Amino acid sequence: MADREQCETALRGLAARLDQLAARDSRPPRAPNRTLMCRLPDLGTSYVAELRGGCLRGIAEGTHASQITFTLSSDDLIAITDGRLSVTSAWASGRLRVEASVRDLLRVRSLL
């Protein structure tokens, strides 16, 4: 099981990759501005962040109302951010749960 520090590092790495994509793309991102939460039940914690302009900002441990919630194990979070597990296969196998409106799912899928 991954620890909190590894999970936070993985989320910050994901944020850095999104920043690089946004900087490389001359068009404004099509991703909506949303509040995200990543629940990690095996660690008994959650991380929250703001998706703004295609970039992930303000990553912090805690909970609050979110528009999009991802629930997965700490090991699966690390595997997804390392590229060893695809978001699609994690979701299809039930290892990743996503709670969001259909519209939000369609709009953020390009980032996943």
Task: Give the chain's domain count.
Answer: 1
State the distance between the two ends of the chain, measured CA to CA, in whole angstroms.
Answer: 23
Give 66's pLDDT tier (boundaries 50, 70, 90): very high
In Å, how far are 65, 68, 101 from 80, measured between CA atoms? 24, 17, 22
DSSP conformation class of 85: S
Residue range 67-77, pLDDT digits in tens: 999 999 999 99
Instruction: Give the pLDDT of residue 28.
Output: 52
As a whole number, mean pLDDT of residues 41-64 equals 92
Single-letter code of the amino acid located at 101: S
Which of helix, strand or coil describes residue 71? strand
Structural domain including 23 reads: 4-111
pLDDT (tens digit per residue) in 26-46: 555 566 789 999 999 999 999
Q: What is the edge-to-edge ordering of all strands in the sheet holding 97-99? A: 55-61, 45-52, 34-40, 68-71, 97-99
Q: What is the pTM of this model?
A: 0.88
CATH of the domain at 61: 3.30.1050.10
